[in-house]
Amino acid sequence: MPSHHNPQGFEQFNVDQFNKNGLLNNPGMHWLKACQMLEQQGEAYCIATVVAYVGSVPRSSGAKMVITPACQFDTLGGGNLEFQVIAQAREGLASHQSQVSIERFSLSADLGQCCGGAVQVMFEYFHTQTPQVVIFGAGHVCQALTTVLNELPCQLTVVDSRHEWLAPLQDKGIKVELLENPIEALGQLPNNAYVIVMTQDHGLDFEITRLALEENRFAFVGLIGSQGKKQRFEFRLKEQLTDADLIHNLTCPIGHPDVKGKLPMQVAISVAAQLIGLFSEQEANTINRDTNSEEVQWKHANEARKVLKEEKQ
């Protein structure tokens, strides 16, 4: 299973750079290097592997390709086989499939290819759990907070309408979104993102917070502010939310209670400490879920391999 850490000797890749260069579909990139890139970027992907074959086929056992919702890397030999494999992998990614499965493809009868053989392809899905942190507001606290978060294993994005505040962050390699109306970014955020609201405008803070709570799909919605700000916001939110219970998903004030201070860096360290704790909880839950399901997944895969072996005899 690919690691979240960067293997020694691998280059650092940027998916956005690949998109700009027209390399969305790159059969020339080795599958393992593609996995490393996608893990780094927190992108979900599927590894499709030829586990067995009979007759004449484009590539033999062990051939792999990597498929994401938008691109693919390496190859299983092209043609309609590859087209069908990509389609099935993307269907599994869209439905958040986690089970390992093995499917049989007949190159003549099913896929209209002249090879005449048949292959068994194993599909393994990796829904990366790298935390996605999105900060609304690039002010002084954000400048300090991103200095800390940029050193942690998370994907970081800052949204603001002010270019002069985003520019220093972009210079540090942090992903930024310059939007005249930052609220527009909410609909594009991934599920389970950690949303932190700290803009320069209390009215904008309120709207972002309200809409983030309404979507009810984020791992964390945190609002910077005092107890007084929390009380004022909660009073309005109870009136405007379609479900008043959604207010319980709001964290305000944000930060670890044991880290005191009002300076931007003190607040930043406090918030970072809180997020580190939340990241650890997410990782522990993921490990427990994966451990419980791993035995079932591989039992299913081994049963499929057994069926394949019987077909070849």
**Domain holding 147: CATH number?**
3.40.50.720
Is residue 64 in a domain? yes
Residues 164 and 107 in one domain: no
Q: Is residue 309 part of a domain?
A: no
Give yes or no: residues 101 and 137 share one domain.
no
DSSP string, the chain: ---SS--TTPPP--HHHHHHTT-SEETTS-HHHHHHHHHHHT--EEEEEEEEEESS-SS-TT-EEEE-SS-EEE-S--HHHHHHHHHHHHHHHHTT--S-EEEEEETTTTT--TT--EEEEEEEEE-----EEEEE--SHHHHHHHHHHTTSSSEEEEEES-HHHHHHHHHTT-EEEE-SSGGGGGGGSPTT-EEEE--S-HHHHHHHHHHHHHH---SEEEE---HHHHHHHHHHHHHHSSSGGGGGGEE-S-S-TT----SHHHHHHHHHHHHHHHHHHHHHHHHHHHHHHHHHHHHHHHHHHHHHHHHH-
Q: Are residues 124 and 136 in the same domain?
A: no
pLDDT digits (tens, 9 = 90+) for 31-40: 988 888 887 6
Decide if 51 is inside a domain.
yes
Asked if residue 244 and residue 204 are part of one domain, the reply reads yes
| Same structural domain, 171 and 75 | no
Cβ atoms 129, 154 nearer than 8 A: no
Answer whether residue 303 is part of any domain. Answer: no
Residue ending a domain, among 93, 128, 163, is 128
Q: Is residue 8 part of a domain?
A: no
For residue 267, tell me if it sits in a domain: yes
- In this structure, are 35 and 100 located in the same domain? yes
Domain boundary among 93, 113, 128: 128
Of the residues 128, 147, 179, the one at which a domain ends: 128
122 and 106 within one domain: yes
Question: Is residue 311 included in any domain, yes or no?
Answer: no
29, 119: one domain: yes
83 and 188 inside one domain: no
Count how many domains the chain has: 2
* 205 and 252 within one domain: yes
Same domain, residue pair 145 and 257: yes
Residues 149 and 275 in one domain: yes
Domain interval for residue 74: 15-128
> pLDDT tens per residue, the chain (313 residues)?
333 333 333 333 343 434 433 335 666 788 988 888 887 667 789 999 998 888 766 677 889 999 998 889 998 887 888 889 999 999 998 887 878 899 988 876 544 455 567 888 999 998 767 789 999 999 999 999 999 999 888 889 999 999 999 999 999 989 999 999 999 999 988 888 999 999 999 999 999 999 999 999 999 999 999 999 999 999 999 999 999 999 999 999 999 999 999 999 999 999 999 999 998 887 776 656 555 545 555 565 566 556 555 555 5
